Amino acid sequence: MSDFTMPSLGADMESGKLVEWMVKPGDTVHQGDTVAVVETQKGAIEVEIFEDGTVSELVAKEGETVPVGGVLAHVRTAGDKTPAAAPATAAPAPVEASPAPASPAPPAPRPAPAAFARTGRVKVSPAARRLAAEIGIDPEGLIGTGVDGSVSLADVELARSRGTKAAPAPSARRTGFDPAEMRKAIAAAMARSKREIPHYYLASTIDMEPALAWLAAYNEGRPPTERMLAAVLTLKATALALREHGQFNGFWQDGQFQPGKGIHVGWAIALRGGGLVSPAIHDADGLSLPELMDVLRDLVARARSGRLRGSEIMDPTMTVTSLGEQGADSVMGVIYPPQVAILGFGRIVERPWVVDGQVVPRRLTQLSLAADHRASDGHAGGRLLSTIEQLLLEPEKL
C-alpha cells in the first residue's frame, strides 16, 4: 500500500484545497492519470498520479485543505498483498472448503467520466484541443484514432460533422485563481529568493535580424494557425544551449546543485487579471519548432483558463520570461527557487547596429541572465548567453 500525498506545486506552497476527486475507490489508475483537482494560490491545478495501482481509499474529502505531504488517498500497487478494506456493511464471507482461497475478483469497471478514457486522461493533440475549444466540443469525450488512442484534429472534425453537443460548463468548484492570493504567493517566493540566493546578473544584445527574416519566410503563405512566433525561436535556442551548459538546468537542494532530469523550460505566462505562472515545457530541446509552437499555444490557453497540470508546475528546470512586443527593452529576473537561473528576453526594437563595418538598422533584443552564484559564475553565464546568440544567428539549424 502506498500513500498518494499532496504534491508541492511550487516552492511557496504550504497546503492545497482538494476541490474535486476524479476517481473513486476501486478505480485502476496509471502513471500520469489526472486523479484530483487541487486549488492553490496559483489557481486550480489538475494533479496526476505517478504510479500504477488501484485506489483503495480516498482519505481527504472534497473541500478539505491538506498540507503539502499530507495523505490524499491510499493506493494498492502491483505486488501489494494488503487486502482491500471491506465495506462496513458487508457480511462475512463464507469459508470455502477448497485447499486455497480463491483470488478476489477485480472491481467492476466504472464508467469513465468526461475527463477520462477507460483508465486515464485522454491524450489530445494541441491542434485538436484548440479547434474543440473554438467550436464547443469536449475533446476528452471523443474516441481517438491517433497514436496510442490520442484524439486528433480529424477526430474533432468528424465530431463536428456529426453534430456532437457542446461540452458542459465546467464545475463551479474550479474557481480559477484569486489575483490577491497569487500576488502573495509570488511575493513570498521572490522574497525568499532574494534572501537566500546570491544572484549575479549578465546582459547581452542579440541581433534578431537573421532569425526574424527566416521566420517571415517560414510564415509566408501559411494560415494563421500554422504560423510561428519569434518566442518559439528564443525558446528553442535556450533549450539547445542548456544541453551544453547543464549547470544552469537544475536545482540547488541540500546544499548542492542537482542537475535536472531533462530540459523542462518554464515559460512565464502573464494571466488576465494579474498574476504569473511559469509551467514547464517538457523536453523542449527535443521538440521541433512547429511542435513547440503548438505546445506553447496550448499551454498559454490552459494557463489562462485555470487548467494546468501538476507536472507542469512542479518540475521546470529553468525559467524564461519574454516581455513581448509591448514590454520593456530589458528585464532582470528573480530566480524561482530551487532553480538556479532565469533568462529574460526584452522586446525587439530597431536600433543602429554595425554589420561588416557599416552602421545599419537592425532589430535587436536584450537578453539577460540572473543566476545563482553557488551553482555557476559569470564566466559560465557569459558562455551560455553567447551560445544562445550564435543559435539565433543561424535559425535554420534550430
The pLDDT tens digits of the residues spanning 73-94 come to 999 987 666 555 444 343 344 4
The three-state (H, E, C) secondary structure of 273-305, written as one string: CCCEECCEECCHHHCCHHHHHHHHHHHHHHHHC
Please tell me the distance from the alpha carbon of residue 150 to that of residue 121, in angstroms, as a whole number.
10
Q: How far is CA 180 from CA 160, 183, 205, 278, 383, in A?
A: 40, 5, 35, 18, 39
Please tell me the distance from the alpha carbon of residue 177 to that of residue 275, in angstroms, as a whole number.
9
Q: Are 1 and 56 in contact (CB under 8 A)?
A: yes
On average, the pLDDT of the chain sits at: 82
pLDDT surpasses 80 at 181:
no
pLDDT number for residue 91: 39
pLDDT number for residue 89: 40
Q: Is 338 helix (H, G, I), strand (E, B) or coil?
A: coil
pLDDT surpasses 50 at 105:
no
Please tell me the distance from the alpha carbon of residue 214 to that of residue 393, in angstroms, as a whole number.
10
Q: How far is CA 31 from CA 53, 100, 279, in A?
A: 9, 33, 20
Q: Is 47 helix (H, G, I), strand (E, B) or coil?
A: strand
pLDDT number for residue 82: 59
pLDDT number for residue 323: 82
DSSP state of 220: T
Please tell me the distance from the alpha carbon of residue 356 to that of residue 207, in angstroms, as a whole number.
13
pLDDT surpasses 50 at 298:
yes
DSSP state of 128: H
pLDDT surpasses 50 at 103:
no
pLDDT number for residue 92: 43
What type of residue is 375? A
Least confident of 59-63, 264-268, 316-320, 390-394: 59-63
pLDDT number for residue 353: 96
Segment (H or E) for 390: helix 378-393
Cell of 150: 490520442
Query: How sure is the predictor about 11, in pLDDT bands with cuts at 50, 70 and 90?
Result: low
In the chain, the N- to C-terminal Cα span, in Å, equals 46
Please tell me the distance from the alpha carbon of residue 189 to that of residue 274, in angstroms, as a whole number.
17
pLDDT surpasses 80 at 175:
no
pLDDT surpasses 70 at 116:
no
Give the chain's domains with CATH numbers: 1-78 (2.40.50.100), 122-167 (4.10.320.10), 179-397 (3.30.559.10)
Q: Are 4 and 74 in contact (CB under 8 A)?
A: yes
Q: What is the pTM of this model?
A: 0.69
Burial 90-104 (b: 16+ CB within 10 A, else e): eeeeeeeeeeeeeee
DSSP state of 196: H
DSSP state of 206: E
Please tell me the distance from the alpha carbon of residue 277 to that of residue 268, in angstroms, as a whole number.
6
Please tell me the distance from the alpha carbon of residue 190 to that of residue 313, in angstroms, as a whole number.
16
Q: Are 391 and 398 in contact (CB under 8 A)?
A: yes
